[in-house]
Amino acid sequence: MNLKFLETFVWVARLRSFSVAADKLCTTQASVSNRIATLERDLGVRLFERDLRNVSLTPHGQRALAQAEAIVRMVNDFQRTIGDASNERGTVLIGAIDSVVYAWLPRLIERVKEAYPNVTIDLNVDTSLNLARQIQDGQIDLGLVMGPVVAPHIRNIELCTFECLWIASPKLTLKPGRLAIADLVDYPIFAYSKGSQPHQAVLRVIETAGVDPSAIRIFNSNSLATITRLIRDGVGIAVLPRVVVQEFLETGDLRVLDVDARLPPLNFHAVFADDPGNTLPALIADMAVEIAASN
């Protein structure tokens, strides 16, 4: 039995379209149709019901899908374990959020270059919300995001956890010692992008503190470079992981505030489509786990 035909069957079943599967496999719709027809002939059963608009699995196709996925995955695992990594080729689209870029992304890219010299990386830096959508839409292969991303056929691997701190410039005229949320009302708070986990966490601690939300200005930005520049200039207070501002803490340009409102940690995941044949994103995700653990 032809493994490529099994992989084609899996993609048609997942995407419910011969034409979309053809695009995914970089072939023609006629070739996909021929592969499925041959597979059905070899098995002696119909795998799909077809009409002008829809493609759906027959009962035989439904029973076959899980086994076909397992076979394709085992073959790819075998190739990954035994094969020469330097033979891996292609382009991997990686989406990462700013926090990962600041923490350890350069080390990951160096590791990938060493292990897979013939693999090209396309990098997209964006918010976790946007990257989650792009992963589900198949626009990027691997996301390094605040997760997890809960969706069908999406795999999440835990990477690391960053403690979130209140950060400000020594220039701000805040009272010494321990601070309450009410002590911060004179300055805007920068809390990542609107709708993000840190942004929601700030809203919750303000509500828990009993402070009128309208009394505190919350500014949003998806650029940590912008946020760190503004708070270094004394524009406001930020909610950030230590790793993002470590160099500015060491130089004294920024300091950690002792605020009595604790913020939940940020949990990061490597996220990719759990598809047969999706070898490189899984390999790079494993590398990311090792690098994040050593950070």
Residues 132 and 274 in one domain: yes
Tens of pLDDT, residue by residue over 169-184, are 998 988 888 999 988 8
Residues 146 and 171 in one domain: no
Residues 149 and 271 in one domain: yes
Confidence of residue 80 (pLDDT cuts 50, 70, 90): low
Residues 279 and 201 in one domain: no
Tens of pLDDT, residue by residue over 5-52, are 888 998 888 888 888 888 878 789 999 999 999 999 999 999 999 876
CATH number at residue 232: 3.40.190.10
Residues 179 and 255 in one domain: yes
Residues 62 and 98 in one domain: no
Residues 181 and 259 in one domain: yes
Residues 238 and 123 in one domain: no
Higher pLDDT: 88 or 25? It is 25
Angle CA 228–160–234, to nearest 5? 15
Tens of pLDDT, residue by residue over 107-143, are 999 999 998 888 889 999 998 989 999 998 888 899 9
pLDDT for position 136 = 86
In contact, 124 and 94? CB cutoff 8 Å: yes
pLDDT for position 124 = 93
Percent share of the chain, pLDDT over 70: 95
Taking the model in full, what pTM does it have? 0.72
Arithmetic mean of pLDDT, 246-260: 93
pLDDT for position 279 = 77
Residues 152 and 276 in one domain: yes
Q: How many domains does the chain have?
A: 3
Residues 283 and 154 in one domain: yes
Domain membership of residue 115 as a residue range: 86-160+267-294
pLDDT for position 277 = 63
Residues 150 and 95 in one domain: yes
Residues 94 and 222 in one domain: no
Last residue of a domain, one of 61, 82, 103: 82
* Rounded distance between C-alpha atoms, residue 287 and residue 285, angstroms: 5
Last residue of a domain, one of 38, 57, 82: 82
* Rounded distance between C-alpha atoms, residue 16 and residue 75, angstroms: 23
